[in-house]
């Protein structure tokens, strides 16, 4: 057995004794490393210590410790084990501090980093994942005399915590992979401990904050002496004692009924809720109170924590604090998500440790019936297919040491058939082995049903879109037809009119009085035909290139009144406009709508009457109603439906009330563009009110 020390020009074999000695030295160093790691406190700079010791154990020239941030998906240098002068030179090449080097980590990079705990040889540029330009990386590598880098990845609880990079000199042998893997495992355990200590400190801070700020009265009593040892601010505020005064009292000193209180103190220690009817303040005043008590141990001494609530101002309630294990058990039992714990026995064998109350309710099985059983022993309940699926998922979690999420349909032997979404999380011990699996299950039957219905609706919607596209195409063809027909019809109408003028001018001697009257009638008909053709063309264009804008209805009406000023003055019309809202509208179309309605209201007034027009609005549920009311000639109810059809005119004197029967058709189409409705209320001789609505969002 031999190994080689490689350099640029030679390869020197190592004897078996040298290799064995090297391995023994590395193992000794690892043992010391493990002991030193265990002795580190939370205040120690663990990253710096790890970098320094790994450099010594591996024989690396430089070690770089980088931390991974899963939220920003970036890797940032935390510590570099390198001489101060060399660091200065590296900084001069980089143009910035080493600790400012930060790189994005893609999914591909993440998978590559965590696939093997010990990475392959790479250049500095490759190890920096693009955060350092290649020329700069090459310069640094040359400066340090490094020809390769070896990466180490620290995976803590299934997630990447950080990496170390070992910079190796030319001719220095690579550290043994087994040694590096042991290093990684030791560091991962220490990092996990560090994370736990940080979580514990945070928990203690939260406890202190909670104790201080909790809205109820809280005090801690020593069970043996009966003296109050600690109180929160609420207690000081409620009883009127200072903190030092309070902590010198016995709990019976604040009770109005000492004997009853003394008797009840034992019950408090047994977690019973005892209503101590009255407590007294420092000034002697009393108030009704209810107490919840609980015991816990601190360094072998039993304490009672009492949570008191003044029931004169709030409903009766009780709160208690328990030891950490009891609290965790309560959270586990009361978790709204079905949760179970599986022990990993090794060699593909598993045992259920227990289930929570929600799991019992979801599957209809008790914790006693499943705890301590293997999956095979539960086949009578879960069925063979579910057991086969469970083994597959458990094995995958153990092998990959990653969280496994999936959806499956549970068909239990008790008749339960539900779709479930499961999440299995592995717990990894200090040796990197999965020793437990924590699983959760959520019923998603309704979600699956909704997905199925949604899929069906999407199919229906696709068909509807197809029909709408056909309709849109047909509508486009119809508009094109109207446009083309209008242009083509204009030409013969103009030809008729032109030839009438030519005949009248060139052959006046041939025209008698009747001929002239006939010519005038034909010319008037041609003019009317031309107007109708233009009206049809404009009607077909209505709504094209429309764009919703936020506008004031009052401003639009003011602009309409300005446009109709001559007509208003000529008719001596009185127009009243109430308050109007601001809405998202097609501005030009709404302008035309009000112009047509106001114009009609002025035009169709009774002879001898002054036109009086009122314009007002009303907010309804989900829409606005607008109205234009006049005192004109009115409309019979028989005509209400057809007055909004194009080219429809009522049987009225056209010489007095001119028009072409298209204005209200315009109004109807404009309202429909806004997804609203239009209608009229009227009586002959009593005036008319034209109403229309525009839907709006209540948000």
Q: Identify the band that residue 637 occupies on the pLDDT scale cut at 50, 70 and 90.
A: confident
Q: pLDDT tens digits, residue range 528-571?
A: 666 666 656 565 555 555 678 899 999 999 999 988 898 899 99
- Token pair 């034209």 in the structure block, residue: 690
- Run of H or E residues at 459: helix 445-506
List, in order, residues 6 or more apart from 277 with CB less than 8 Å away: 256, 257, 260, 288, 289
Q: Identify the band that residue 195 occupies on the pLDDT scale cut at 50, 70 and 90.
A: confident
Do the Cβ atoms of 28 and 142 come closer than 8 Å? no
- CATH number listed for the domain at residues 448-541: 1.10.287
Buried b (16+ CB within 10 A) or exposed e, 490-506: eeebeeebeebeeebee
Candidate from 164-173, 394-403, 640-649 with smallest mean pLDDT = 640-649
**Fold for domain 214-322?**
Beta-Lactamase (3.30.450)
| Torsion on CA atoms 42, 48, 52, 57, rounded to nearest 10 | 50
Q: pLDDT tens digits, residue range 394-424?
A: 999 999 989 888 887 776 666 667 787 888 8
- Token pair 């264009």 in the structure block, residue: 541
Averaged pLDDT, 605-631: 91
d(CA 482, CA 491) in angstroms, rounded, equals 15
Domain spanning 3-200: which CATH class is it, in words? alpha beta
Helix (H, G, I), strand (E, B) or coil at 188: helix
Other residues' Cβ atoms within 10 Å of the Cβ of residue 61: 19
Q: pLDDT tens digits, residue range 86-134?
A: 888 888 888 888 888 888 888 888 888 888 778 778 888 887 777 888 8
pLDDT at 523: 73
Q: For the chain, what is the mean pLDDT?
A: 78
Q: Copy the structure tokens of residue 687.
A: 């005036």
pLDDT at 262: 46
Averaged pLDDT, 204-230: 76
Q: pLDDT tens digits, residue range 238-248?
A: 888 888 888 87
Q: pLDDT tens digits, residue range 462-510?
A: 776 676 566 555 555 556 656 665 556 666 767 777 777 787 777 777 7
Q: Identify the band that residue 629 occupies on the pLDDT scale cut at 50, 70 and 90.
A: very high
Half-sphere exposure of 386 (CA within 13 A, CB side): 21
Q: Identify the band that residue 628 occupies on the pLDDT scale cut at 50, 70 and 90.
A: very high
pLDDT at 642: 74
In 3D space, the residue among 198, 194, 130, 123 whose CA is nearest the CA of residue 162 turns out to be 194
pLDDT at 247: 80
CATH-assigned architecture of domain 328-443:
2-Layer Sandwich (3.30)
Residue 323 phi/psi, 5-degree rounding, is: -65, 165
Averaged pLDDT, 443-452: 77
For the chain, the structural domain boundaries read: 3-200, 214-322, 328-443, 448-541, 548-695
- Is the pLDDT confidence value at 382 over 70? yes
Structure-model confidence comparison of residues 32 and 344, the more confident one: 344
Equal fold, 328-443 vs 548-695: no
d(CA 557, CA 237) in angstroms, rounded, equals 64
CATH-assigned architecture of domain 548-695:
2-Layer Sandwich (3.30)
DSSP 687: -
Parallel, antiparallel or unpaired: strands 574-577 and 612-620? parallel
d(CA 402, CA 426) in angstroms, rounded, equals 7
Identify each DSSP E strand in 520-564 by its residue range.
548-552
d(CA 33, CA 30) in angstroms, rounded, equals 5
- Is the pLDDT confidence value at 177 over 90? no
DSSP 254: G
DSSP 632: S
pLDDT at 607: 82
């Amino acid at each position: 057995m031999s190994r080689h020390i490689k350099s640029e020009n030679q390869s020197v074999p190592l004897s078996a004794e040298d290799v064995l000695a090297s391995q023994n030295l590395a193992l000794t160093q690892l043992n010391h490393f493990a002991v030193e790691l265990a002795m580190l406190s939370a205040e120690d700079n663990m990253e710096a210590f790890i970098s320094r010791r790994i450099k010594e154990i591996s024989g690396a020239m430089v070690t770089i410790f980088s931390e991974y941030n899963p939220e920003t998906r970036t890797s940032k240098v935390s510590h570099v084990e390198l001489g101060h002068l060399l660091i200065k030179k590296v900084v001069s090449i980089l143009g910035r501090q080493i600790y400012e080097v930060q790189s994005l980590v893609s999914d591909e990079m993440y998978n590559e980093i965590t696939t093997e705990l010990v990475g392959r040889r790479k250049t500095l540029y490759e190890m920096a994942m693009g955060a350092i330009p290649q020329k700069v990386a090459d310069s640094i590598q040359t400066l340090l005399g490094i020809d390769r880098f070896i990466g180490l990845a620290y995976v803590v609880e299934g997630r990447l915590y950080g990496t170390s990079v070992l910079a190796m000199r030319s001719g220095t042998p690579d550290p043994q992979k087994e040694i590096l893997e042991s290093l990684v495992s030791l560091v991962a355990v220490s990092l996990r401990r560090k994370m736990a200590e940080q979580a514990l400190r945070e928990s203690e801070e939260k406890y202190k904050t909670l104790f201080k700020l909790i809205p109820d009265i809280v005090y801690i009593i020593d069970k043996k002496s009966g003296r109050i040892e600690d109180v929160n601010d609420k207690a000081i505020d409620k009883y009127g004692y200072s903190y030092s005064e309070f902590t010198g009292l016995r709990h019976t000193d604040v009770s109005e009924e000492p004997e009853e209180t003394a008797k009840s103190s034992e019950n408090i220690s047994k977690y019973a809720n005892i209503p101590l009817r009255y407590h007294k303040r420092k000034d002697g005043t009393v108030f009704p109170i209810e107490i919840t008590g609980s015991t816990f141990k601190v360094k072998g001494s039993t304490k009672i924590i009492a949570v008191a609530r003044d029931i004169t101002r709030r409903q009766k309630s009780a709160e208690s604090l328990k030891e950490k294990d009891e609290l965790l058990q309560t959270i586990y039992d009361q978790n709204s998500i079905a949760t179970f714990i599986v022990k990993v026995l090794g060699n593909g064998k598993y045992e259920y440790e227990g289930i929570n109350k929600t799991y019992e309710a979801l599957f209809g099985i008790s914790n006693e019936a499943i705890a301590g059983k293997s999956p095979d022993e539960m086949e009578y309940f879960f069925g063979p297919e579910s057991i086969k699926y469970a083994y597959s998922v458990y094995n995958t979690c153990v092998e990959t040491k990653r969280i496994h999420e999936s959806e499956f349909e549970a068909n239990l032997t008790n008749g339960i058939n539900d779709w479930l979404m499961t999440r299995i999380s592995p717990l990894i011990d200090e040796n990197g082995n999965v020793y437990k699996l924590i699983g959760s299950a959520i019923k998603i039957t309704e979600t699956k049903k909704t997905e199925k219905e949604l899929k069906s609706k999407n199919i229906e919607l696709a068909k509807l879109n197809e029909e709408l596209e056909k309709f849109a195409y047909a509508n486009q063809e119809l508009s094109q037809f109207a446009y083309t027909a209008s242009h083509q019809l204009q030409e013969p109408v103009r030809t008729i009119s032109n030839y009438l003028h030519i005949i009248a001018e060139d052959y006046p001697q041939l025209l008698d009085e009747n001929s002239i009257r006939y010519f005038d009638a034909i010319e008037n008909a041609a003019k009317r035909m031309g107007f109708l053709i233009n009206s049809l063309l404009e009607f077909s264009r209505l709504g094209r290139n429309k764009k919703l804008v936020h506008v004031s209805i009052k401003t639009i009406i003011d602009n309409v009144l300005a446009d109709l000023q001559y007509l208003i003055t000529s008719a001596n019309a009185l127009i009243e406009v109430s308050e109007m809202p601001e809405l998202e509208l097609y501005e030009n179309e709404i302008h035309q709508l009000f112009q047509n309605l106001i114009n009609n209201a002025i035009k169709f007034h009774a002879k001898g009457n002054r036109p009086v027009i009122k314009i007002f609005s009303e907010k309804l549920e989900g829409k606005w109603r607008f109205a234009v009311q006049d005192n004109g000639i009115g409309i019979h109810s028989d005509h209400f439906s057809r007055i909004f059809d194009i080219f429809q005119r009522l049987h009225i004197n056209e010489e007095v009330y001119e028009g072409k029967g298209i204005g209200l058709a315009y109004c109807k189409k404009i309202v429909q563009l806004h997804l609203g409705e239009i209608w009229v209320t009227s009586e002959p001789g009593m005036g008319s009110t034209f109403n229309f609505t525009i839907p709006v969002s209540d948000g």
